[in-house]
């Protein structure tokens, strides 16, 4: 049957440049919208009189919003193209980041974090789908293209680390942290403008039939239920990852500042953590390809636990720096390990449902983590004890995941 549109010239597509541009979506969704909060938590808490429980509750609200957004994406994608969802999501994230600078009351800020979480999920899922389509257009570099996209989270963290402390040091006024939110909103706006190019190109490719049904997945095909019981060790291990990692990414800057780390040290620590996220895209590729069971998930959880506990044990700068580099070099690859586990053990028709199951348990874990760590930090032992709890959650996750056998 003749095609209605000419096939696009795939060789002419600048797939790597498109992936780099798409990575700005990952930068907005997590690097800026979620993880910049670690830098803003200390001044906001001091200014607004928060407990650590309430400060952690802000990221719990964000995680709840992320779960809502992720669960809503299948319906949204049936109504709108991924490119449309991506651009609308980044625009909403921009507005919500700006709004945070005008809010002082805890209920309003909790609502802002909830809505920002929804926007983050829309952007991250839509951008990931578009990156996967890029990989289908350039199969030989599909792993690289996906790694470049997810590495955008690290660029967002690094940008936050460079900008937020600078603004806090020079911004006028009582609520000087508001200026940081407004500057981050401007960065998000710039990313949104830059994302218009890959969105336009990939929409045109889709319209011309550039992605085959096989490459796009098996959506709509009848599928057998995912064997959740057989995957229970990995699912439980991944849930504990959600509990553990988010405690570190919420409170580590506050702990380091309590220990006396200055502006330059905080900037260097968080910038290098972000750059380690970018570099990690290729470091663990071989492990993820070889590991058919829960071995990769277990190893990465264990390493992340080591990175998490180090700042709780000592404030020595070399150890703190090692913690940030190890954490940044591991945590996003742990997310990728579950995708690899699904691909190794389930038929293609079950990949979407399998990844969805892991996404849900992870979201539940990261909903619980910040509030629990905040409650511990308010009691005797402070933030250091809270990070010990996070590390123990990660090590428990490693033990659980180690029990996962190939299906």
Q: Which of 222-231, 356-365, 396-405 has maximum average pLDDT?
A: 396-405
Output the pLDDT for position 57.
96
The whole-number average pLDDT for the span 288-310 is 92
pLDDT the model gives residue 394? 98
Asked if residue 235 has pLDDT above 60, the reply is yes
Contact present, 121 and 98 (Cβ < 8 Å): no
At 337-363, the pLDDT tens digits run 888 888 888 888 787 788 888 888 998
| CA neighbor of 387 nearest in space, from 317, 316, 327, 325 | 327
Question: pLDDT band at 11, cuts 50/70/90?
Answer: low
pLDDT at 374 over 60: yes
Dihedral over Cα of 26, 70, 238, 110: its sign: positive
Q: Domain residues of the chain, as ranges? A: 15-219, 226-407
- Condensed to tens digits (0 to 9), the pLDDT of residues 93-151 reads 999 999 999 999 999 999 999 999 999 999 988 888 888 888 878 888 877 888 888 88
Spatial separation of the C-alpha atoms in residues 119 and 67, rounded to whole Å? 11
φ, ψ of residue 212 in degrees (nearest 5): -70, 155
**CA distance readout (Å), 352 to 216, 321, 346, 364:** 11, 37, 10, 18
Provide CB contacts within 8 A for 286, sequence distance 6+: none
DSSP per residue, 316-374:
-HHHHHHHHHHHHHHHHHHHHHHHHHHHHHS-GGGHHHHHHHHHHHHHHHHHHHHHHHH
Domains 15-219 and 226-407 share a fold: yes
Q: How far apart are CA 33 and CA 374, in angstroms?
A: 20
CATH number of 15-219: 1.20.1250.20
pLDDT at 272 exceeding the cut of 90: yes
Taking the CA atoms of residue 319, residue 320, residue 324 and residue 327 in that order, the dihedral angle to the nearest 10 degrees is 60
Contact status, residue 281 vs residue 147, Cβ threshold 8 Å = yes
> In the prediction, which pLDDT does 4 show?
40
Dihedrals phi, psi of 65, to nearest 5 degrees: -60, -40
> Is a pLDDT exceeding 60 seen at residue 386?
yes
pLDDT in tens, 180-193: 999 999 999 999 99
The pTM of the full predicted model, rounded to 2 decimals, is 0.90
Rounded-to-10 torsion of CA 160, 191, 333, 56: 50
pLDDT in tens, 19-47: 999 999 999 999 999 999 999 999 999 99
Determine the pLDDT at residue 38: 96
CA distance 363 to 359: 6
Residue 9 has pLDDT above 60, yes or no: no
For the domain made up of 226-407, give the CATH fold. Answer: Growth Hormone; Chain: A; (1.20.1250)
Q: Is the pLDDT of residue 220 over 60?
A: no
| Average of per-residue pLDDT across 280-304 | 87
Pick from 146-155, 216-225, 239-248 the range whose average pLDDT is largest. Answer: 239-248
The arithmetic mean of pLDDT across residues 235-262, rounded, is 96
């Amino acid at each position: 049957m003749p095609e209605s549109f000419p096939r696009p010239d795939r060789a002419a597509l600048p797939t790597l440049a498109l992936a780099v541009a798409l990575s700005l979506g990952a930068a907005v969704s997590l690097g800026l919208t979620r993880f910049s909060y670690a830098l803003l938590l200390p001044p906001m808490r001091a200014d607004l009189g928060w407990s650590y429980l309430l400060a952690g509750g802000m990221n719990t609200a964000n995680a709840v919003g992320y779960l809502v957004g992720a669960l809503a994406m299948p319906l949204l994608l049936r109504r709108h193209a991924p490119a449309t969802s991506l651009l609308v999501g980044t625009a909403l994230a921009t507005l919500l980041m700006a709004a945070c600078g005008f809010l002082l009351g805890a209920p309003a800020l909790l609502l802002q974090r909830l809505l920002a979480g929804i926007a983050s999920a829309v952007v991250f899922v839509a951008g990931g789908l578009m990156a996967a389509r890029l990989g289908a257009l350039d199969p030989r570099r599909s792993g690289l293209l996906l790694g470049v996209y997810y590495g955008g989270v690290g660029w967002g963290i690094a940008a936050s680390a460079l900008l937020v402390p600078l603004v806090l040091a020079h911004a006028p006024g009582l609520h000087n942290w508001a200026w940081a939110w407004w500057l981050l909103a401007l960065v998000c706006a710039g990313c949104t403008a830059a994302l218009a190019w890959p969105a336009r190109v990939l929409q045109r490719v889709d319209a011309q039939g550039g992605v085959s049904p096989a490459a796009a997945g098996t959506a709509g095909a009848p599928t057998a239920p995912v064997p959740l019981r057989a995957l229970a060790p990995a699912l439980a291990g991944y849930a504990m990852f959600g509990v553990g990692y988010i405690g570190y990414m919420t409170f580590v800057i506050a702990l380091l500042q309590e220990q006396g780390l200055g502006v330059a040290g905080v900037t260097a620590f968080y910038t290098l953590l972000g750059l380690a996220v970018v570099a990690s895209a290729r470091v663990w590729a071989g492990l993820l390809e070889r590991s058919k069971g829960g071995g990769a998930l277990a190893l990465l959880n264990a390493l992340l636990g080591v990175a998490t506990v180090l700042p709780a044990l000592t404030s020595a700068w070399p150890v703190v720096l090692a913690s940030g580099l190890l954490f940044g070099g591991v945590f996003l690859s742990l997310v990728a390990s579950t995708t690899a586990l699904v691909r190794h053990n389930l038929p293609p028709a079950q990949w979407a449902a399998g990844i969805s199951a892991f996404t849900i348990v992870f979201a539940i874990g990261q909903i619980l983590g910040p509030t629990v760590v905040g409650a511990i930090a308010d009691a005797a032992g402070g933030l250091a004890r809270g990070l010990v709890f996070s590390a123990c959650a990660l090590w428990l996750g490693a033990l659980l995941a180690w029990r996962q056998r190939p299906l």
